[in-house]
Amino acid sequence: MRAAPVLLASVIAFAAIEGTVFHTGLYLWILDPNASTGSLETILRNERERPKNGAQVLGVGDSRMLLQPRIANQRTPETGDTFGSIATPGASPRSWYYLLRSTDPTAHLYRAIVVAVESYDDADTLENEADRAEDLTYVIARLRLTDLWEFSRSYEDPGLQWKAARGILFKGLVYKRDFEDLLLHPHSRVLLAKRAHRDSFWWYYNFVGSPDTLSGIHVDWKTKTLTAPPNTDPELVQRLKSRLLLPLPAETGGQNRYLKYWLGKMYDRYRDSPTRLIFLRLPRGGWVRPDQPPYNPHSSVREMAAHPNVTLIDEHFFDSLERPELFSDELHLNGPGMDLFSRMLTQEVARILGRPR
């Protein structure tokens, strides 16, 4: 009985500290901008604080959505549109929904949202994205207590469901590694956070892609072999072989269900909005394997395209970029490829939208 008041007081104190530090914006200003949570929050903060005069277009995706506002906005006098981007390396379609909800809370801020997807066929991947544990770390600062049921239940693995629910209730558990690093290096973290607040917009805006290419590497589809110059990174060679030569994952319909849910959530946010959703299929790589997944007429994006405020850019629009000399690795365009991608996308978006009134 004597211990009960002490225990109660401890629980109340813990809840007060947890709520004050991690369930408000207090901790966000000092996140490590180089870690997953901090980098995402930095990108969101830069977009929210960016002056928005005139018609706005926003790019969404992961590290392969290499729309460069620096390149796109060179054509603003001609197109009338100003481009921004919240494309985040490692972010998934589940994460994109929460990023958009935070960036555009009224669903009326942007003239168009341009979303980059890997496939128009919802082809299954080696990873089950529904059970992507890292999503919780990426969007923890964007999650509310009211998201607890939907977000946690969106995982298929019961262990991940519990981890997600626990993390939303006690965000300090998710911030644990970042917080430990802060305690170990408080001075350097404060300096890094200040520098990120001051300069990070220009870090991203002036980013120039890698000069590396895949030139000199050859793929023989008949013999299913890949040859590379002797000085090629062995890890890159292995990743290329895995992506190009290993059998495709079996089609289970899992990716289709996942994308219909999360891209559908994005559509529902903009259903009654003047904002247009524009989807693009990313360039597939320096080489395109001949055994592509089957055409899926009932994929998430193809079904959404039946709605008046949704547009699919032709899935072969970026085929001209699928060359070894324009890729730096198995997934990512290099600097020249990024520039071409941005110019082509800007021109196509301007054609779809027309000049704003």
User: What average pLDDT does range 215-243 have in this prediction?
Assistant: 95
163 and 183 fall within a common domain: yes
20 and 36 fall within a common domain: no
Q: How far is 351 from 112, CA to CA, in rounded Å?
A: 13
Any idea what DSSP says for residue 109? Answer: S
Task: Report the relative pairing of strands 225-227 and 218-220 from DSSP bridges.
Answer: antiparallel
Is the predicted pLDDT of residue 248 greater than 80, yes or no? yes
Question: 53: pLDDT confidence band, cut at 50, 70 and 90?
Answer: confident
Query: What length is written for the chain?
Result: 357
Is the predicted pLDDT of residue 8 greater than 80, yes or no? no
14 and 93 fall within a common domain: no
17 and 146 fall within a common domain: no
Residues in contact with 287: Cβ distance below 8 Å, sequence separation at least 6, in sequence order:
219, 244, 322, 324
Are 57 and 349 in contact by the 8 Å Cβ rule? The answer is yes
Distance from the Cα of residue 1 to its chain's centroid: 52
Any idea what DSSP says for residue 305? Answer: T
20 and 135 fall within a common domain: no
User: What average pLDDT does range 73-91 have in this prediction?
Assistant: 95
What pairs with residue 279 in β-bridges? 115, 312
217 and 293 fall within a common domain: yes
Question: 23: pLDDT confidence band, cut at 50, 70 and 90?
Answer: confident
Are 278 and 301 in contact by the 8 Å Cβ rule? The answer is no
Question: 2: pLDDT confidence band, cut at 50, 70 and 90?
Answer: low
2 and 68 fall within a common domain: no
pTM of the predicted protein model: 0.92
Residue with the larger pLDDT of the pair 130 and 18: 130
Q: How far apart are the first and last CA of the chain?
A: 72
Model pLDDT for residues 204-224, shown as the tens digit of each residue? 999 999 999 999 999 999 999
Model pLDDT for residues 304-352, shown as the tens digit of each residue? 999 989 999 999 999 999 999 999 999 999 999 999 999 999 999 999 9
14 and 103 fall within a common domain: no
Is the predicted pLDDT of residue 226 greater than 70, yes or no? yes
pLDDT, residue 152, reads 97
Helix (H, G, I), strand (E, B) or coil at 225: strand
| Greatest distance between any 2 Cα atoms in the chain | 78
Any idea what DSSP says for residue 333? Answer: B
The number of beta carbons lying within 10 Å of the beta carbon of residue 165 is: 17
Task: Report the relative pairing of strands 112-117 and 276-281 from DSSP bridges.
Answer: parallel
User: What average pLDDT does range 248-268 have in this prediction?
Assistant: 95
Structural domain that includes position 3: 1-27
Task: Give me the percent of the chain exceeding a pLDDT of 90.
Answer: 89
The count of domains in the chain is 2
